[in-house]
Amino acid sequence: MLSNLLSGIITVTPFVLLFFNKVGFVAKVRGSSMSPTLEDRVDYVFVERDNSPCKVDDIVVYSFPTNPSQLLVKRVKEVNISPLGQIWIEGDNYRTSRLDSKDIGPVSEGLVVGKIRHRVWPLAKFGKVE
């Protein structure tokens, strides 16, 4: 029984890691900077690993430049700010949004980890995020 379980885990693990690294992952929203679009500690979203260029109004997850392990969610307001490859990002809740381009200036598009296009929880709000 235990050997079957371990065999199953060993078989599935590479696929889970591949999915996480190449396709995306589910994340819980923390903070009010994207309110009312995304609600603090209520919404779970699917973060798509998407390498296509950012567009205005994309909701992106990015690594904070001075602390790459800190992931933040903001909306793209402008693209290709001089120099090219820089984006201007802000939270939807202007009053509470911090650590965005208002504070740190343009952000390198290379810091974008993924894009949020779908909410997966709560079920009543399941679907596309705009």
Catalytic residues: 33, 74
39: DSSP letter: -
> Could you check whether the bond before residue 122 is cis, i.e. omega within 30 degrees of 0?
yes
Q: Is the dihedral of CA 78, 119, 114, 104 positive or negative?
A: positive
Q: How far apart are CA 85 and CA 82, in angstroms?
A: 8
Comparison of pLDDT for 99 and 3, the residue scoring more = 99
Between 28 and 17, whose confidence is greater? Answer: 28
pLDDT class for 55, splitting at 50, 70, 90? Answer: very high
pTM of the predicted model as reported, rounded to 2 decimal places = 0.81
* pLDDT computed for residue 15 by the predictor: 60
SS3 state at 10: helix
> What pLDDT does residue 41 have?
85
**What average pLDDT score do residues 98-125 get?**
90
Tokens of 99: 């650590």
